[in-house]
Amino acid sequence: MSRIGKRILTIPNGVSVNVEGNKVFVKGPKGELETTINENIKVLIDNNTLKTECSDEKYNNFFGTANANINNLLIGVSEGFTKVLEMVGVGYRFTLKGQTLVIAAGFSKPKEITIPKGITVENPSNTQIIIKGIDKYLVGEFAAKVRATKKPEPYKGKGIRYADEYVIRKVGKKATK
């Protein structure tokens, strides 16, 4: 059995969980989310705890995934998720224009990316953005999409990176005499 699937999740204050068939609905102060789980996995709610149970051994690989997805929903509606991206390079900058993120990263024309629904982007400085949302998948996907426009290169370290990311630097060519 999965160790992650066996863990007991605590439901935070102000969050309600409803199970209808194989769908789990979570409602909290930041919003509402839902997920679909395998029909062979049962979700048991008791007081402020939530537990998943697997009815058959051959569905064990869905067991831990269902527990982790429900945990992400509980964290999302109560606290939310954030990703911080930084840009390194001369003349590189982020600009917000309504629901569009404009990225100037050494291209002939700035790249424009539409911000999806359910995500907010803050721009504390022109080289940093903070992506916030309640859906972990959406926040991570949008952050990866922004980072993919100009990945950090290993020689000078220029490009878009996560705030906690360490870029391994390579030594360039050396002139010999």
Range of the domain at 53: 3-78
Residue 24: Cβ within 10 Å count: 24
In a domain, 61, yes or no: yes
Domain CATH number, residue 44: 3.90.930.12
Tens-binned pLDDT, residue by residue, of the chain (177 aa): 568 888 999 999 999 999 998 999 999 999 999 999 988 888 999 989 999 988 877 778 888 899 999 999 999 999 999 999 999 999 999 999 999 999 999 899 999 999 999 999 999 999 999 999 999 999 999 999 999 999 999 998 899 999 999 998 888 887 666
